[in-house]
Structure 1
Amino acid sequence: MAGLKALVTLAFATTIGLTFLFLACALPQYNNWWPFFVVVFYVLAPIPSIIARRVSDDTGSSNPCKELAYFMTAVIVVSAFGLPIVLARSPWSAPVISWGACGLVLAGNVVTFLTIWGFFMIADSDDVEYSMW
């Protein structure tokens, strides 16, 4: 039952993160969908960790496959935070998105990536049926 509560909490947190993202796209100043490209990073972020869990074995303390997966995940997460900042700064005279939209996307990134991290923490525990991931 505790696993079900955690899963519902993660689903609610994902909804909040995507709501921030939709609000960033719907700001009345620019009303464009450029911030929505961050969803690509949300989809790509868990893939290296999922592949590393399937390929590697847990024999040693340091596993190169998992280390590479952590590095690739970090690159994807940093790129997700960098994209809205670049869109808000360039060009300076007429930015693609407003700084308010940038802030909403960054808030959505924090919530969504913490949710993805929380799912992997729950999936690693032995008492939950989701450990097949």
Structure 2
Amino acid sequence: FIVAMGQSKKIIGIAALGFCLCLGMVLFILACALQGENWWPMFQIVFFILAPLPVGLGLGLSGGGGSPDVFFRQPNQNTFFMDVGLFLGTALGFSGFALPFVLYHAHVITTTALVLSLCGSLIMCASIAAYVFFFLVKKKEPEML
């Protein structure tokens, strides 16, 4: 029974995160479609799709093995590729947040589209961060008495 309760909490958590991702996508689409059907803010999604790729590639090349605790480095481990991947992933993620401001400054999108795309970005990034925090963090194993 206890195992079933843990599984149902995990399923509810995944469903809530999926709902948040869908809400973020709806806000992106509304930002594009509401005022004049200007679809330039959708390019923001490209940055968020590409952001994890250099991080995963860097972790794979530096021998991280994909374990959740890869950021705890061993003294003799080469972390050059991991550091470059984290840098490029951060640059792509920051560019995803900066693109609506650039488009607004160039008078390509309106204030409404700016606010909606930023809200969509915050919701999507928060849901991805929540997934990493709750589901990919290594759990402490119970100690035997």
TM-score range for the pair, normalised by the shorter chain length: 0.7 to 0.9
Is 1:37 aligned with 2:53? no
Aligned in 2, Cα 1:123/1:108: closer, same or farther, shift over 3 Å?
same
Find runs of 4+ consecutive structure 1 residues off by over 3 angstroms: none
> What is the deviation of 1:83?
1.0
> What is the deviation of 1:6?
2.2
**Residue in 2 aligned with 1:27?**
34
1:88 aligned to which of 83, 91, 104: 104
**Residue in 1 aligned with 2:82?**
66
For 1:116 and 1:46, locate their aligned partners in 2 and report how far apart those are by CA, in whole Å. Answer: 11
For 2:59 and 2:25, locate their aligned partners in 1 and report how far apart those are by CA, in whole Å. Answer: 27
> What is the deviation of 1:86?
0.9
The amino acid across from 2:18 in the alignment is A
Aligned in 2, Cα 1:120/1:54: closer, same or farther, shift over 3 Å?
farther
**RMSD between aligned alpha carbons?**
2.1
**Residue in 1 aligned with 2:12?**
5
Task: Give percent identity, aligned residues only.
Answer: 27
2:117 aligned to which of 105, 108, 115: 105
CA deviation vs aligned residue, 1:7-43 (integer Å, no higher than 9, x gap)? 2121111011111101101123x32111111111121
Output the TM-score relative to the length of structure 1.
Answer: 0.78
Aligned in 2, Cα 1:52/1:123: closer, same or farther, shift over 3 Å?
farther
Gaps of 5+ in 2: 1-6, 65-69, 140-145
Larger Rg: 2
For 1:69 and 1:123, locate their aligned partners in 2 and report how far apart those are by CA, in whole Å. Answer: 22
Aligned in 2, Cα 1:14/1:86: closer, same or farther, shift over 3 Å?
same
Tell me, yes or no, if the aligned pair for 2:59 and 2:85 is still in contact at 8 Å: no
**Residue in 1 aligned with 2:95?**
79
Indicate the larger mover: 63-72 or 108-117: 63-72
Tell me, yes or no, if the aligned pair for 2:54 and 2:88 is still in contact at 8 Å: yes
The amino acid across from 2:55 in the alignment is S
> What is the deviation of 1:50?
2.2
Gaps of 5+ in 1: 128-133
